[in-house]
Chain A
Amino acid sequence: MSSGTTETDNYVRFDAVQKSYDGESLVIKDLNLDVQRGEFLTLLGPSGSGKTTCLMMLAGFEPATHGEIYLDGRPINAVPPHRRGIGMVFQNYALFPHMTVNENLAFPLQVRRINKNEIESRVKRALEMVRLSEFGARRPGQLSGGQQQRVAVARALVFDPKLVLMDEPLGALDKQLREQMQYEIKHIHDNLEVTVVYVTHDQSEALTMSNRICVFNEGIIEQLASPTDLYERPNNAFVAQFIGENNTLPGQVTSVNGNHCQVQTDGGATVEALKVNVNASGDRTTLSLRPERVEVNPEPGKFPNVFDARVEELIYLGDHIRTRASVCGQTDFIVKIPNASEHAVLQAGDSVKFGWSAEDCRALDVYQGA
């Protein structure tokens, strides 16, 4: 799934890469991926989908079973990890516990035989970048999780690599700290013009930070797109389900009309939808609809799709009210009603009308997952 940009902009290229650990099954099945210079690319997927394996092959810790990886136009399959000059932030930071923060940061510079004064000033600058100037003499064990995380980022950047890999770097932090660190890493990326390949299984993290997101599932790329495209225009049922919340209505295509199609849902309703992953009438399909794109009691004639609904349950979440309702024979249909002034006030058991546009309702392939 090449991104279609010109060759010179591609800093990292995976060319028909396959990877197997046991010789019996493929963890990565024919990966073709281009990472552009200066880009923040996130590899997103459930655990076991092959995203970390990709990162390990790029860093040089796992050899590719087949295919070639290019860095800045040069094949690097035969280059050992210590000659690749790629920075990396590990899942548990991997800060050397027997060295102080300063020594940790100086390590990549010392092995490069940079002179002492230069090392000192660069370590100082790197610590200032992550706002930890006072902590240079401490050991990693004496720092909090968030501070260790920042030291790990500083260490990965201190030797000015052009490419930085991050392997679920925020996984061990609590929610609030994680969100704060997301912005910090994003800002560092914007300021330093490095290329970042970031691995996570957290979709909100991916949406917040990335220029592009590459969704992995079972060793293949399901979709490679910008966060907006990925959320609003998922190409298939897996992506729609994995990114954000999603209502799914299984059904059968009854007629195709240009970009649109009509779908008879298994609950018996006829829905007007955008044709994405279906070809002809008779195809099985899964309709995908974001909960926030459903309007309660719309003006007549505004939407082609208006259905009777029965409110089953209301959950108050502060900024919005999560409403579970029965629509078209589906009892777990979710609608998010924003907590704005003059929003619809519903009670459990109310009969209402739900409406949505054909563009927001995407006819995708049959969803295989849970």
Chain B
Amino acid sequence: MATLENTASGPLLTADGTPLKVSLARSLRRSKLRGALLVLPALLFLIIIFVVPIAQLLSRSVDDTLVNRALPRTFVAFESWDRQSLPAEAMFEAIFLDITTGEKYTIGKATTRMNYEKPGWRSLIKKSGRKFKKKIKGPPYRDAMIKIDKRWGDVTFWQTLGAMKDPQTLGYFLNAVDRQYDANKHVIMKEKERRVYVMLWWRTFLLSLIVTVGCLAMAYPVAHLLATLPLRYSNLLMICVLMPFWTSLLVRIVAWMVMLQNNGVINSTLVWSGILDDENRLPMMYNFTGTVIVMIQILLPFMILPIYSVMKTIPPSYMRAAQNLGAPPSLAFLKVYFPQTLPGVGAGVILVFIVAIGYYITPELVGGKDGQLIGNMIAYHMQKSLNWGLAAAMGTLLLAAILLLYWVYDRIVGIDNMRMN
């Protein structure tokens, strides 16, 4: 510690002349290394199990090389086409060769993709694949092809190739919001009867909002009770709050089905007591209402716990002080107690909203037709229609929406103020 004066000539030096910062880093290196080693397994696990697959899937949302790989010659010929009139012989020849010489599997996958752009592509190429080799022995191809299927003479089919030309596409994203490219790569709305996703997005946001507000309204008083009751009562209440966590999600949802369905406990009780007619049973299951009710119940602990953990740290003396200074209890609550619980409220709101917006199981089981959310659509495209590009695009949009919310929250409240349990 001999040379610790900060002279104008240079940085601080230790006794042997090495700069202080270097010595400090050296002395801490071992412990830092040891700390890094300890978190290494978790880090690797996260990267392999979480980061890589998600990145891979997200990249699928823009990947559009399927058709390029299946129809290489066609896209070369496409460059010299005016995109207005029917293509010339060269382009017919190119696509003929692509279809007849290409690998069946590659072409099959590509036709699925082409069908998203214009329904009919798949059947057209399938049919052509069967008949081209039998019926067309050599050039010229154009008229022969149109003879086999007159859709080859329809210029709109050819035009859709323009949307599939680039190896990257925003098509899946456009699709996820009910839009598509026209022949000249302008973004247009889909036909009316094929618009579904925008409505789904709105429904998802609306439902998440209702669930969040409902959770907040119910969680706040419960959290306050939890934080202020004597220990033996609050412990009991805490067990009641946590019980749902320990019960299987499916069991809970099925229990709600028993309660809410048309012939369920609630409706039967209302009919039995004469409040409802037998014909006018309340529809509370397999619809939007059912999804809201069940999701509020399932997500309630996510709201209670962060609020509780903040309330627990607020000593009762603040409320007393506010009242002592002349504020009636309601005003004391509003001006002194509530603002101090905001970090917990913020954490709970953002947690519940984020979980709700991507929720899948509950809407799947109790949502019926008008309780389906975007999460269900993602699952559908992953598992049933196998349109992974669209599923990835929807997932990316969902992730972006969440990050955006997070950013907004950070700007308004500040993430440092948020306290998770």
List residues of A whose CB falls within 8 A of some B CB: 59-61, 80-88, 90-92, 94, 96-98, 107-108, 111-112, 155, 159
Interfacial residues of chain B within 307-344, with CB under 8 A of chain A in the complex: 315, 317-318, 320-329, 331-332, 335-336, 339-340
Contact A94–B318 (Cβ < 8 Å): yes
List of B residues within 8 angstroms of A111 by Cβ:
325-328, 331
A86 near B323 (CB under 8 angstroms)? no
Residues of chain A with a CB closer than 8 A to B335's CB: 107
- Chief secondary structure at chain B's binding surface: helix
Cβ of A86: which chain B residues have Cβ within 8 Å of it? 324
Closest B-chain residue to A105, C-beta based?
Answer: B325
Residue of A nearest to B318 (CB): A94
Mark B334-359 against chain A: 1 for CB-CB distance below 8 A, else 0.
Answer: 01100110000000000000000000
Q: A92-B315, A96-B336, A111-B331 given as contacts; is B323 within 8 A of A82 (CB)? A: yes
Q: A96-B336, A108-B325, A108-B326 are known contacts; what are 5 more A-B pairs with Cβ within 8 Å? A: A61-B320, A83-B326, A84-B324, A111-B326, A112-B326
> How many Å lie between the Cα of A85 and that of B317 in the bound state?
17
A86 to B324, CA, bound (A): 7
Asked if residues A85 and B326 are in contact (CB atoms below 8 Å), the reply is yes
B residues adjacent to A (C-beta < 8 A): 315, 317-318, 320-329, 331-332, 335-336, 339-340
Residues in B whose Cβ lies below 8 Å from that of A84: 324
A98-B339, A98-B340 as given contacts; A90 in contact with B326, CB under 8 Å: no
Contacts of B329 in A (CB 8 A): 80, 82
Residues of chain B contacted by A61 (CB below 8 angstroms): 320, 323
**What separation, in Å, do the CA atoms of A59 and B339 have in the docked complex?**
24
Contact of B325 among A80, A92, A98, A159 (CB under 8 A): A159
Which of chain B's residues have a CB closer than 8 A to the CB of A87?
324-325
**29 A-B pairs in the complex with CB atoms less than 8 angstroms apart:** A60-B324, A80-B323, A80-B329, A81-B323, A81-B324, A82-B324, A82-B325, A82-B328, A83-B326, A86-B324, A88-B321, A90-B320, A91-B317, A92-B315, A94-B320, A94-B321, A96-B321, A96-B322, A97-B340, A98-B340, A107-B325, A107-B335, A108-B325, A111-B325, A111-B327, A112-B326, A155-B325, A159-B325, A159-B326
Q: Which residue of A lies closest to B331 (CB)?
A: A111
What residues on A are CB-neighbors of B315 within 8 Å?
92, 94
Residue among B317, B322, B326, B331 making CB contact with A92, cutoff 8 Å: B317
When the two chains form their complex, are residues B317 and A107 in contact, meaning their CB atoms are under 8 A apart? no
Tell me, in angstroms, the Cα distance from A80 to B340 when the chains sit together.
Answer: 24
A155 to B318, CA, bound (A): 13
Q: In the complex, what residues of B have CB within 8 A of residue A98's CB? A: 339-340
Q: Using Cβ atoms and an 8 Å threshold, which residues of chain A touch B336?
A: 96
Docked pose: A13 CA to B14 CA in angstroms: 69
* Distance A92 CA – B322 CA, assembled complex (angstroms): 14
Chain B nearest CB from A308 CB (Å) reads 56
Q: Chain B's nearest CB lies how many Å from the CB of A196?
A: 15
Chain B hits for A155, CB < 8 A: 325
Nearest B residue (CB) for A82: B323
